[in-house]
Structure 1
Amino acid sequence: MADSSRGCWIEQSEPWDLESQLDLPLNLDQDRHNVFHSRLKALRTQARRQAVELSISS
């Protein structure tokens, strides 16, 4: 990931205003129009189901 990803930040007093203007595919709540939204939502639902079924060792 270190070789293929980048990050940056912007100081913003009201970040929700900026988020509504950006394409943030991992933010399902704020980016429903993204082409990956339905697929990512389905994958997260599947991952939750699988996590619940995993045995937990103590």
Structure 2
Amino acid sequence: MIREMIRMKEMGFSLRKISGSIGKSRTAISKYLALIEACDLSFKELLELTSEDNY
């Protein structure tokens, strides 16, 4: 779910479109994205991380 949310945001999808696709509220999507944006990596860098990466 998080990867899909980041991918859609990186592609320019609106919160409404992401929300509808993932099945979570726009408020929840907005909160997740705000937390994600607070880290020191770009959306593109986050998408490139694997489960073996220790961030």
Give me the TM-score of the superposition, normalised by structure 2: 0.31
The higher radius of gyration belongs to 1
Higher helix share goes to which structure? 2
Give me the TM-score of the superposition, normalised by structure 1: 0.30
Structure with larger RCO (C-alpha < 8 A, sep 6+): 2
